[in-house]
Structure 1
Amino acid sequence: MAEEQTPIKHQLIPKQEVCTEEEISEILTKYNIKLEQLPSISVKDPSIATLDLEHGAVIKIHRSSKTEPNSLFYRMVVE
């Protein structure tokens, strides 16, 4: 029987969410880039494995540190 996966919750794993088509368009326009130019993340990465994403999806990663409390990073999901 397949074991159900749960999201990894740990203080060192930042919050991640899937971007909508509108958000993706805004990101690409803001940074004047193409979708393929975004940094990539593997669909098999444990931190996003439970999001059930396909190649080409974009995720928004919320990171924080002592010097920058609210940083956003974007990654395109690849196989």
Structure 2
Amino acid sequence: MAEKVKPTTINHALVPKQVVCDKEEVSRLLSKYNIRKDQLPKVSIKDPSIQVLELEPGDIIKISRSSQTEPSSLFYRVVV
């Protein structure tokens, strides 16, 4: 039987750019906003974009979104 090919959602035009944060960036982020990792917004490990990036629970991603009013906005999510 032929193997089914999953479409890659990460490269879709409507999916914002997502990058995994390294330990140094996570440390700066948490100290800048004086927060703990568990206080960040969460994203499910079952999210198709997270599955493509092969992340694990506890990893933090930086999401860069653009809109008509803002050229680029950064958002952070912790994988749960």
The answer for the alignment partner of 1:25 in structure 2 is: 27
Distance 1:2 1:42, change over 3 A: farther
Which structure shows the higher helix fraction?
A: 2
Report the TM-score when normalising by structure 1. Answer: 0.88
The answer for the alignment partner of 2:13 in structure 1 is: 11
Cα deviation for residue 11 of structure 1 reads 1.4
Report the TM-score when normalising by structure 2. Answer: 0.87
Letter in 1 for 2:24: E
Aligned residues: 78
Cα deviation for residue 5 of structure 1 reads 5.0
Could you list the structure 1 runs, at least 4 aligned residues long, displaced by more than 3 angstroms after superposition.
1-7
Residue identity (%): 56
Q: What is the CA–CA distance in structure 2 between the aligned matches of 1:14 and 1:53, rounded to whole Å?
A: 17
The answer for the alignment partner of 1:65 in structure 2 is: 67
Name structure 2 gaps, 5 residues minimum.
Answer: none
Mark the structure with the bigger radius of gyration.
2
Name structure 1 gaps, 5 residues minimum.
Answer: none
